[in-house]
Chains A and B, each alone.
Chain A
Amino acid sequence: MNLFVDRYPEEAWIVRAALASSFLALFLGGIMGLIQGLHRTGFLQIVQDSTYYTVLTLHGVSMVLLFTIYFLVGFFQWAVTDSLDRSAEDIRFTKLWYFLMVAGTVMAAAAILGGFTDATNLEADVLYTFYAPLEAHPIFYIGLVTFVIGTWLAGVDWFRSWWAWKKEHPGERTPLRAFMVMTTMLMWYLATIGVAAAILFFILPWSLGLVDSVNSLLTRTLFWFFGHPVVYFWLMPAYMMWYVILPKLAGGRLFSDPLARIVFVLFLLLSVPTGIHHQYVDPGIAEGFKFVAMTNTMFLLLPSLLTAFTVVASMEHGARQRGGTGRLGWLRSLPWNKPAFTGMALAGLMFAAAGFSGMVNAGMNLNYVIHNTLWVPGHFHLTVGTAVALTFMASTYWFLPQITGNGVFSQRLGLVQVLLWFLGMVFMGNAMHRIGLAGEPRRTAEPFYDGVTFDTALGSISELHFQIALGSVILTVSLLLFMAHLFLSWFDVASNPAPDNGVIPEALSGPENAPIVLENLRLWTAIALVLILLTYALPLASIVSANGFFGSAGTLVGTAYEFAVSPFVGVVA
């Protein structure tokens, strides 16, 4: 009786519910992705051009807010419960945050889906970045906030478990997985200050008509205050799997536990004070601020480079344990027949490729060439769309038995599925990057303009459009296989027994070797706050002093509101 579901049935229920929500969003988003891939290349246009943006909003929100974050909360619940080996402090509270997230999702989804029909005044064709003054129905913003509050409470839930555990284990090191969850959640609390402020103080009051206008640059800057660290929120569960599950699957164990902790602390410190790198080409922000963000961004490469080392080293160790030999020959001794392993390894490989295009994005001057071209979606379909998404899907082949008690349907089918995702992304990702270099913009229903031609250095634009369409189709096939396989495994169609392999081995170099100061999360949070203040206080102050909190116009209510709220906002910002 080693399976998680047998030890913690109630927590396993939450994990299953979160995963089900997550994959539902993935499925929906994937269908939208296919529509986009075929529409903007001109191969098949089943929606109106104007509806394309509703589709794209649904794709963005489903993928990067719902799919990723639902998966994260499910996975983190497992990580906390399993690694601390204790039940949730109060399972009703656990259910509360999950259902809050669901309530938020329903509201936001209703607003987005309303965009497909004229029957309601609900709509939210604002894409997942909702740059004001593009305006959605207020229920969209309320839904987003509710969803985020749900995640905040989830963090509270896990911190309560951790504090209770510490009381019972004075002087002991926090287990690695719990440590990773806590640092990630702290980062999340800091990051979400940005969107929460943007929505609650500015966008929501404006969409409700309480104030007349918004300061676009201010809400945009607050969005990216959140928008960069959110990518690490997607990535941290994937990193966690590379650190704790991949080495085990490879047949060995993690190389170094202390180094894994250092990596997560670095992410806590550096994730937020980088957001301005999404605004390199924004007017109204002085070059110096952009430069600071760039420097921080470059240093943020460090934890990822360290991760690359650890992951490869742990895999090699595993392969040698399995009898692998030779300089590269050990690669053959890895369990390539296991989709969980193969999927994660391929995801890691794609992430390395994405690292290169990421360096171009991060360079202030190179960014001018590719900003808002299709290069950018090319980049993040390799990061969140593969490094994260493929890791999540792959890990499910290992993870699902832990939380359902059933074995998976077919490892062979799973292998085909992860390979197809990899292939599809190679086609789509490669073509998106190249077409972006030719200047074709992203977020465009019809990149076919009179009098504007895009020339690629080699090949032809039509060849690249074909690659995008082909990639989209392969990806969708992979996704359908995944969903079918998930369904068959979940409902135990093949009645395969669950393998009893839920134990995560200790690292080669264990936690007792880690400097004790790593445990001091208060200290790291305080330093992170100082870094945020250093990078954001001046830019925000200058944006506000140039255009005010609410842009130009002001009504009586608006002015009164401004008067009442601004001192407070000033403190938060």
Chain B
Amino acid sequence: MNRPSPAGLLVALAFGIVFVVEGRTVLGMLGFELPLSVYFPVAGLLLVAMFVGLLLLPKTNSKQVAGT
């Protein structure tokens, strides 16, 4: 897998935040209720790790067709 473009990174980050927010709802529905002070640091760290991971990927040499 290659590193997403800057736009791709932004989109990935947005989705990451969404997963963090909704993740708490879903976990709660499944019966795992974590205190705020535990959930958000952990989820936040995971998010940062994901983002750094994406940045560490090699840059693309993709031959994408230019957008219209």
Contacts and interface: CB of A to CB of B under 8 A. Distances in A.
Nearest to B7: A337
Interface string B9-29: 011001001100110110011
B68 interface: yes
Interface string A385-423: 000000000000000000000000000100110010011
Contact of B8 (A248, A322, A332, A422): A332
Contact of A459 (B6, B17, B24, B68): B24
Interface string A332-358: 110111100110000000000000000
A322 B65 contact: yes
A46 B12 CA distance: 36
A501 interface: yes
Contacts of B10: 415-416, 419
A248 B68 contact: yes
A571 interface: no
A338 B67 contact: yes
A120 B22 CA distance: 47
Given A332-B4, A463-B36, A457 B14 contact: no
A430 B7 contact: no
B14 A458 contact: no
Nearest to B31: A458
Given A423-B18, A430-B25, A459-B24, A342 B11 contact: yes
Interface in A418-475: 419, 422-423, 426-427, 430, 434, 457-459, 463, 467
Contacts of B17: 423, 426
A323 interface: yes
Interface residues of A, number: 31
A268 interface: no
A27 to B, nearest CB: 23
A377 interface: no
Contacts of A335: 67-68
A489 B22 CA distance: 35
Contact of B11 (A419, A457, A467): A419
A154 interface: no
Interface in A97-121: none
B11 A336 contact: yes
Given A430-B21, A430-B25, A459-B28, A336 B64 contact: no
Interface residues of B, number: 23
Interface in A134-161: none
A427 B17 CA distance: 10
Contact of B14 (A332, A419, A499, A501): A419
A249 B65 CA distance: 12
Interface string A313-343: 0000000011100000000110111100110
B5 to A, nearest CB: 6
B32 to A, nearest CB: 9
B22 to A, nearest CB: 6
Contacts of B68: 248-249, 251, 335, 499, 501
Interface in B24-45: 24-25, 28-29, 33, 36
Contact of B28 (A251, A332, A416, A457): A457
A365 to B, nearest CB: 20
Contacts of A251: 65, 67-68
A467 B18 CA distance: 12
Contacts of A416: 10
A467 B17 CA distance: 13
B64 A423 contact: no
A335 B65 CA distance: 9
A423 B10 CA distance: 12
A357 B64 CA distance: 37
Given A426-B21, A427-B21, A415 B65 contact: no
Interface in B54-68: 63-65, 67-68
A21 B50 CA distance: 42
A180 B6 CA distance: 37
A458 B28 contact: yes
Interface in A472-496: none
A236 B5 CA distance: 33
Contacts of A336: 5, 7-8, 11
B54 to A, nearest CB: 12
Contacts of A422: 14, 18
B23 to A, nearest CB: 11
A427 B5 CA distance: 26
A45 to B, nearest CB: 25
Contacts of B11: 336, 342, 419
18 contacts: A249-B68, A322-B65, A333-B64, A336-B5, A336-B7, A337-B8, A338-B67, A423-B14, A423-B18, A426-B21, A426-B22, A427-B21, A430-B22, A457-B28, A458-B28, A459-B24, A459-B28, A499-B68
Interface of A: 248-249, 251, 321-323, 332-333, 335-338, 341-342, 412, 415-416, 419, 422-423, 426-427, 430, 434, 457-459, 463, 467, 499, 501
Shortest Cβ-Cβ A-B pairs, 6 listed = A458-B28, A337-B7, A335-B67, A419-B14, A322-B65, A426-B18
Given A251-B68, A426-B22, 4 more contacts: A322-B64, A341-B67, A427-B21, A459-B36
